[in-house]
Structure 1
Amino acid sequence: MSQRPHRKPTVQAAQFFDGRIGGTDPALVSEAADRAAALLVRGARSSDDEQIAQRVLLLAETEGLETLADLWSGAPADSLAGCLWRLYVLRAWVHGSPHQATQQFEAGRTSAQVARVVAGVADPPGPDQLKAMIDTTLAGIAQRDFADVLLRASAFARVVAAGRAHRQDPDAHQMLVLSEQLEAAAHQELESPLA
């Protein structure tokens, strides 16, 4: 068996790596996403501009849900970015399937009475009432404490989860997890502001 001579690896110059074309550094993307989320949540509340709440509400429409997914979908549930992603997905679902959302909410109202009250949906709940509730909740990012926004969205998701369970919908667990994530984040926000 012949042995190859051992050669010391060559150290590449910095220019070698600088000249390589590659994707965006994930750490930089994550940092930018976190910064954008903090500016949106903390900056919107400190503004007196009445149009800020409307801009916050319509962010997914103006920038695209796919753009928000690129920024925030991988963020932990207990971060500002992760919370925003979950809130915008919940809103997109209600606006995209208002009749389904109404049926599921209606099915869960009796078994999640406290959550129904916290969610703040008009009685009787219809598609327009659910859309108005979710819009008011998201606009609250610019108007109320972020913990309140999270608790209200969590309560709504809990009622929907109960409705899905009542209807034996296989996605009931997914909505329950969303509710629990938002509630846990709200409690963390109350203790120490999320980052």
Structure 2
Amino acid sequence: MPEQFHRPVRRPSASFDKLVGASDSAEAQRVAHATASALLTRARDDESGESAKRLIAFTSEHGIDDIAELWATATAVSLPGALWRLYLLQLAIHTDPQTSALLYERGRVELASADAVVAGAPVPASPEELVALIDTILRGVFQGDFAVALERAAAFCRVQVSGATHTADDYEATEPVRATELTARARRLHTYANDLSAAAALWRVGGLT
């Protein structure tokens, strides 16, 4: 991805999980893996932190389309696949922090696990604090322990899954369409959580490429 360029930001008109890449060819897969590895290496080698700062802010400044073209069709449990899912989470929270905060808090209350602690959000978390949380998790990807960052993102997803599921139950009788949307969101986030957890395990043994 270019470090600096200027053009209108292309915000996706569809929901964040429906974005797709251009092709699923072998060449596209090769490019996805090569660019993800090069980007991560460069950011983690930059002791000034400027590369990480630019990468965290990338989607806010340029939109998600350029990243989608590189990584959207990558294998789920791979380096580009993990980065793609992290950027999708960032997009979802930045686009609608109010809903994210609502679902997160509901999930935190309902979920009988340590996932909320692992994710690391304040209690309760405001919309602004969740935006800061996902940016902090991305910062960990580019500067800190990559596996820990993936595990935090997975834990965040599981809290949101719980929140979306319970909120869907609340809406079932009065707003079935909304309930269906929340249930679909929970299923997607459940898949993301599993993918990110698997990627973290592979990273720890040197197998995530």
Pair in the same fold by TM > 0.5: yes
Question: Could you tell me whether the CA contact under 8 Å between 2:141 and 2:150 is conserved in 1?
Answer: no
Contact 1:98 1:130 (8 Å CA) reproduced: yes
Structure 2 residue aligned with 1:88: 87
C-alpha distance in structure 1 between counterparts of 2:60 and 2:43, whole Å: 18
Contact 2:101-2:127 at 8 Å conserved across structures: yes
Aligned to 2:110: 111
Out of 183, 201, 205, the residue aligned to residue 170 of structure 1 is 183
What's the counterpart of residue 152 of structure 2? 152
Aligned partner of 1:184 in structure 2 is 198
Distance 1:25 1:131, change over 3 A: closer
1:74 alignment partner, SS class: coil
CA distance in 2, matches of 1:136, 1:56: 12
Q: Which amino acid aligns with 1:103?
A: L
Output one character per residue of 1:120-156: Cα deviation in whole Å (capped at 9) or x when no partner. 0012211011000000001112211211110010000
**Cα distance in 1 for residues equivalent to 2:39 and 2:103:** 31
Rounded to whole Å, the distance in 1 between the matches of 2:45 and 2:188 is 34
Amino acid at match of 2:183: P
Q: Percent identity?
A: 35
1:115/1:158 contact within 8 Å kept: yes
Indicate if the aligned counterparts of 2:72 and 2:81 stay in contact, CA closer than 8 A.
Answer: yes
The residue correspondences of 1:42-81 to structure 2 (distance < 5 A) are 42-81=41-80
Higher mean displacement: 152-161 or 169-178: 169-178
Question: Structure 1-normalised TM-score?
Answer: 0.83
CA–CA separation in structure 2 for the residues paired with 1:121 and 1:161:
15
In the alignment, is the contact (CA less than 8 A) between 2:24 and 2:73 conserved in 1?
A: no
Partner of 1:98: 97
Corresponding residue SS for 1:48: coil
**46-55 or 124-133, which deviates more:** 46-55
Give unmatched runs, 5+ long, in structure 1: 1-22
1:193 offset after TM fit, Å?
3.9
Give the alignment's Cα RMSD to 1 decimal. Answer: 1.8
> What is the CA deviation profile of residues 67-95 of structure 1, one whole-angstrom value per residue up to 9, with x for unaligned ones?
11111111011111100110000000000
Give the C-alpha shift of residue 64 in structure 1: 2.8
Structure 2's unaligned 5+ residue stretches are 1-21, 169-181
CA distance in 2, matches of 1:111, 1:180: 20
Residue 54 of structure 2 aligns with an amino acid whose one-letter code is R
1:125 aligns with 2:158: no
Q: Which letter maps to 2:151?
A: L
Question: Counterparts of 1:127-142 in structure 2 under 5 Å?
Answer: 127-142=127-142
CA distance in 2, matches of 1:41, 1:105: 28
Q: Could you tell me how far apart the structure 2 residues matched to 1:85 and 1:25 are?
A: 15
Secondary structure at the counterpart of residue 69 of structure 2: helix
8 Å CA contact 1:41–1:142 kept in 2: the answer is yes
| Equivalence for 2:17 | none
